[in-house]
Amino acid sequence: MEIAKAYDPTQAEEHHYARWEASGCFTPEINQDEDAEAFSIVIPPPNVTGTLHMGHALQHTLMDVLTRWKRMLGYRTLFLVGVDHAGISTQLMVTRQLKKDEHKTPQEIGREAFTEKVWEWKNKYGGEITRQIRREGLSVDWTRERFTMEENLSRAVREVFVRLYEEGWIYRGTRIVNWCPRDKTVLSDLEVKEEKVKDGKLYYLKYPTSDGSAMVTVATTRPETMLGDTAVAVHPEDMRYAKLVGKSLALPLTGREIPVIADSYVETEFGTGAVKITPAHDSNDWEIGERHGLEKLVVMNDDATMNAAAGEGFAGMDRFEARAKVVEEFEKLGLLEKVEDYEITLPHCERCKTIIEPLLSEQWFVKMEEMRDMALKLMREDNIPHFFPEIPHKKVYTTWLENLRDWTISRQLWWGHQIPAWYDGDGNVFVARTKEEAAEKAGTESLTQDPDVLDTWFSSALWPFSTLGWQSEPGAVATGVFNSTDLETFYPTNVLVTGRDIIFLWVSRMVMSGLKFVGEKPFDDVIIHGTVLDKNGQRMSKTKNNGIDPLGVFEKYGVDATRMTLAGSATGVDFAWRDERVESFRNFANKIWNATRFALMNSEGATVRSDSLLQQASAGGPPEGGTPNALADRWIISRLNKTAKAVNRALETYQFHEAVQLLYHFIWDDFCDWYIELKKDEITAGDVEASSRILTILEQALRLLHPFMPFLTEELWQKLPGISNSMHNAAYSSADQTIMLTTFPTGDGSLIDEAAETEMQSVTELITKVRNIRAEMNIKPGDKLGIHIAADGSTQRVFAASEEQIKKLARADKIILADSLDVPRASARAVLTGNAEIAVPLEGLIDFEKERARLQGQIEKLDVEVQRLNAQLSNANFVEKAPKEKVDGLRERQVEIEGQTRTLNQNLEALN
């Protein structure tokens, strides 16, 4: 078979995905075992406006590894995919486009026309992220692809809203909310980011008492809000102000009189100890206002300009202009005491970075107490969700829930789920699933729907069950789009993979709504992956423009190499991106490609022979009982099974990086560097048995690697002679042949052969020591050497059985085995484990000076170790208290080192 010299990822990536998808490999229906256990994962739905970034690539890889692994183990797997409508982002994007294309604003074209535009945009451009998900090779079920705005998911949203309202857990109220004056919508606490403002100032304003007898100085960072002040508060025990409590102040610039009140909220130490109170523009002030029955005077519009209530001179002015003007007026009046520089952190809109204005506003809220308690109970009693890594996420999650406040769910947007509440002419509200239902309740058709939409996270919170058909239309079930049993089969899902930034926004809310509406947890485990940083360890961000585009990396190094790099990072730990690391996995892919190439070049008449060949080799037993090649075979089979066991164990606990390391070393070091080299002569000589065995081992290795490197493994697997769908897991026996449906090797303990591993270690140690001598003595590659070995009988038998392989790899032409050494003075020497000794006669080639240094170096190394051992073993406490096994082990090592040191010293003396 002709096969290219180097692996070309692009070619394999183009080949297989469409075929997998077309043959139904990604759907749970491919599994024909009626008793198969289910395994399900839902993707954190990326924004419809989004494009793939490294964070996606990381979490997607982890999910796909788990799904492919479980599928190969015979589970009925569902990896559910879909996208989120992303309210604000999408609305802003379409608004920009509308401006550009038609020079119009959403208001100009109206709500209906605008939402139509959004759908048009979604249909045209919304597929970008899903195309990229295909590129990543994700084995997601496209037949069940979901979108949060589609009808069935919207129905679930309305159902949840109505039920919560009926229970009194959703209410409408007037509160101080986080208002973004630029997006002109309210935001939840979680969509607000606190950021330091460098040029912050603290202004000290003087308010005179109404009788003109005294002044009270208040400190503020937002002087413009004084226009809405309705009191000044001091601490009840602050003696400085005791006389003033109850008196009234003449609020400058407004002509209003406001009282001085006492409230223990005030800290005497801060500022002047007197606080201006603006109940309509500050949440703490609002609470004080409530306690003292103060008027709540709104002085701003929704775009953060001052309104008429702010007074004639200020109305229509932007908040920051008004600030400057207030300060100027105070100064003119001689009421500005001072201005200090003051570093302050202020809430900013997470999206547009505008400074949030706390504003009194009527909004919809969800009361969280009951659902919060359900989630806390689940964690306390069952430790669910089980976070990986558990520290610190379990505690952070729990603490957050404990301090949870009501959730503001209305948004002043047009793109999203419109709130299912209708008002009659008198302002009475009717919450219902449909307008008809509302009309029935209201007794009139003349109703207006609430113009607001719901927070995008409201629908995301339902994702694990709304996507599986909860409350879906019966008709939809009949079309097969929603399978009526999906919820039963796949809920709860097994594991959620996501970033730590949305533990509160999303994970906690899925837990709460899942418990409330399905009556069961949405998932058992939550893997919180780390953040991919740039090469300098900085977070990637658009403003820094230091992002690394996964698609560029795919292009340069291949999807599989990228997946290995991502899966190879420790679970939950941040790591700095290094192209060098992907490069090493690109090289790894090429290594496997070439190992396969070698096996195929010499595969005349050979085939992959399933498990039978593995069993047979093992049954060969120790060297004297089997063929001369039995050791390498027993050894590689043992290594394969050990690796398979360890890989499964690692994946069970989500130690992806551990699995990656195991596979990398098994394939590169054990299989390529040793096994292939040991078997090369047999293979090239046309030994069909040997060729078949190497193909068989390779086939098993490809299966183990498949979840991580799906394209490469499929490409190579399809080239192997003798593969067929009979190698599939029984659940997929009739499907078209593909490695993704073969049985994942779990490792057979009975094929783990410790004796073979120990013997092999002797052989590799011998070869390595001889190679070391060759390198240190500058022996030319073509020059063959003779190796004299002194060893005990069983070790001699091991070396004898592998004589041909040792000669080949050590480039020797003869091996002389004996009980003791009898060699010329001009020999290079080394000691081996188990009191064996080797000597390589180098008549005319040896550099005595170098050899002495080499021996000296070995002695010194052993000396360092033996000194530590001596110290430990002469400690009576250690000998007494440490486990006997440990002590015996060290004693044996001590004896061995002493023997080796003696030998090396004798060798050294012989050179003098």
Window 641 to 680, contacts with RNA (CB under 7 A): 657-658, 661, 664, 668, 672-673, 676-677, 680
Nearer to RNA by Cβ, of 202 and 816: the residue is 202
CA atoms of 666 and 672, how far apart (whole Å)? 8
Number of residues that bind RNA (CB under 7 A): 92
Per CB under 7 A, which of residues 217..256 are in contact with RNA? 218-222
Pairing of strands 76-83, 38-42: parallel
* Least gap, CB of 845 to RNA (angstroms): 14
Footprint of RNA on residues 544-573 (CB under 7 A)?
569-570, 573
Distance CA 429, CA 444 (A): 12
Neighbours of 787 (CB within 10 A): 24
Minimum separation from the CB atom of position 207 to RNA (A)? 12
Query: End-to-end alpha-carbon separation of the chain, Å?
Result: 58
Residue range at the interface with RNA (CB under 7 A); choices 70-78, 288-296, 438-446, 869-877: 869-877
Q: Which helix (H) or strand (E) holds 532?
A: strand 532-533
* Angle made by CA atoms 853, 857, 862, in degrees to the nearest 5: 150
Q: Which region, judged by CB under 7 A, interacts with RNA, from 104-112, 277-285, 483-491, 900-908?
A: 277-285
Cα–Cα distance measured from residue 317 to residue 298, given in angstroms and rounded to the nearest whole number? 15
CB of 585 to RNA, least distance (A): 8
**Which of the residues 742 through 771 are near RNA (CB under 7 A)?**
767-768, 771
Find the length of the chain: 912
586 binding RNA? (CB under 7 A): yes
Question: Which position among 881, 884, 909, 912 is part of the footprint of RNA (CB under 7 A)?
Answer: 881
Site for RNA in 68-127 (CB under 7 A): none
* CB neighbour list of residue 24: distance below 8 Å, 6 or more residues apart: 30, 735
316 vs 605 by CB, closer to RNA? 605
What is the footprint of RNA within residues 506-535 (CB under 7 A)?
A: 533
469: left (phi over 0), alpha (psi -120 to 50) or beta: left
3-state secondary structure of 350: coil
Given 32, 485, 867, 875, the residue binding RNA (CB under 7 A): 875
Among 104, 172, 292, 893, binds RNA (CB under 7 A): 893
| Dihedral over Cα of 651, 657, 658, 663: its sign | positive
**Interacting positions 6-35 with RNA (CB under 7 A):** 6-7
Q: Does 595 bind RNA (CB under 7 A)?
A: yes
Cβ-based neighbour number of residue 138 at 10 Å = 22
State the Cα–Cα distance between residues 663 and 644, nearest whole angstrom. 9
Q: Which is nearer to RNA, 423 or 878 (by Cβ)?
A: 878
Which C-beta is closer to RNA: that of 221 or that of 743?
Answer: 221
Among 395, 544, 814, 891, binds RNA (CB under 7 A): 395
Element of type H or E holding 310: none
- 160-199: which residues touch RNA (CB under 7 A)? 189-190, 194
835 binds RNA (CB under 7 A): no
CB 529 within 8 A of CB 59: yes
- What would you measure as the largest C-alpha separation in the chain, in angstroms? 118
Q: How far is the CB of 232 from RNA (least distance, A)?
A: 10
Binds RNA (CB under 7 A): choice among 16, 117, 158, 276: 276
Residues 838-857, interacting with RNA (CB under 7 A): 857
Q: Which CB, 273 or 385, lies closer to RNA? A: 273
**Of the candidate residues 13, 224, 282, 424, the single one contacting RNA (CB under 7 A):** 282
Determine which helix (DSSP H) or strand (DSSP E) holds 218, and give its type and residue range. Answer: strand 215-220
CA within 13 Å, CB half, 31: 22
Shortest distance (Å) from residue 502 CB to RNA = 10
> Can residue 479 be called a binding residue for RNA (CB under 7 A)?
no
Of 392 and 451, the one with the shorter C-beta distance to RNA is 392
Give the residues across from 493 on adjacent strands: 523
| Binding window for RNA (CB under 7 A); candidates: 31-39, 480-488, 596-604, 736-744 | 596-604
- In the complex, minimum distance from the CB of residue 272 to RNA, in angstroms, rounded to a whole number: 7
**Whole-number Å distance between alpha carbons of 836 and 792:** 7
Neighbours of 684 (CB within 10 A): 13
* Positions 799 through 828 that interact with RNA (CB under 7 A): none
Residue 575 near RNA by CB under 7 A:
yes
Nearer to RNA, 664 or 744 (CB): 664
Nearer to RNA, 74 or 572 (CB): 572
CB 468 within 8 A of CB 491: yes
- One of 70, 85, 417, 581 touching RNA (CB under 7 A): 581
Cβ of residue 704: shortest distance to RNA, in angstroms?
A: 17
SS3 (DSSP) at 19: helix
Positions in 323-362 near RNA (CB under 7 A): 344-347
- Single out the residue of 398, 772, 796, 870 in contact with RNA (rule: CB under 7 A): 772
Listing DSSP states for 857-885 in one string gives HHHHHHHHHHHHHHHHHT-HHHHHHS-HH
702: tokens are 């490809």
Shortest spacing between CB 563 and RNA, in angstroms: 15
Exactly one of 28, 55, 273, 420 binds RNA (CB under 7 A); which one?
A: 273
Which tokens in the block code for residue 703? 């299966």
For the CB of residue 145, give the shortest distance to RNA in the complex, in Å: 31
Nearest to 118 by CA among 89, 153, 158: 89
Tokens at 179, concatenated: 């208002």
Rounded to a whole number of angstroms, the minimum distance from the CB of residue 876 to RNA is 8
Name the E strands within 13-169. 38-42, 76-83, 141-147
CB of residue 62 to RNA, shortest distance in Å: 15
The count of other CB atoms within 10 Å of the CB of residue 692 is 21
Cα separation, 845 vs 314, in Å, equals 98
Stretch that binds RNA, among 58-66, 175-183, 213-221, 251-259 (CB under 7 A): 213-221
Residue with smaller CB distance to RNA, 220 or 418: 220
Determine which residue in the list 589, 739, 785, 812 makes contact with RNA, applying CB under 7 A: 589
Give the residue with the Cβ less far from RNA, 36 or 869: 869
The binder of RNA chosen from 625, 781, 793, 844 (CB under 7 A): 781
Give dist(CA 248, CA 255) in Å, integer: 12
Per-residue three-class SS string for 410-440: EECCCCCCECCEEECCCCCEEECCCHHHHHH
Write out the binding residues for RNA, residues 407-466 only, by CB under 7 A: none
Q: Which is nearer to RNA, 267 or 792 (CB)?
A: 267
Query: Angle at Cα 358 formed by Cα 366 and Cα 105, nearest 5°?
Result: 90
Q: Among all chains, which residue has been given the structure tokens 């570093």?
A: 343
Provide, rounded to whole angstroms, the least separation between the CB of residue 883 and RNA.
Answer: 5
Beta strands in 333-487 (DSSP E): 336-341, 344-349, 357-366, 386-388, 407-408, 410-411, 421-423, 429-431, 448-449, 453-454
C-alpha angle 431/436/440, rounded to 5°?
75
Minimal distance in Å, beta carbon 201 to RNA? Answer: 9
Taking a C-beta distance cutoff of 8 angstroms, is the pair 714, 12 a contact? yes
With respect to RNA, which residue has the nearer C-beta, 558 or 841?
558
Q: Which is nearer to RNA, 444 or 768 (CB)?
A: 768
For residues 429 and 533, which CB has a smaller minimum distance to RNA in the complex?
A: 533
- 784 lines the binding site for RNA (CB under 7 A): no
| 275: contact with RNA by CB under 7 A | yes
Min dist CB 523 to RNA, Å, is: 21
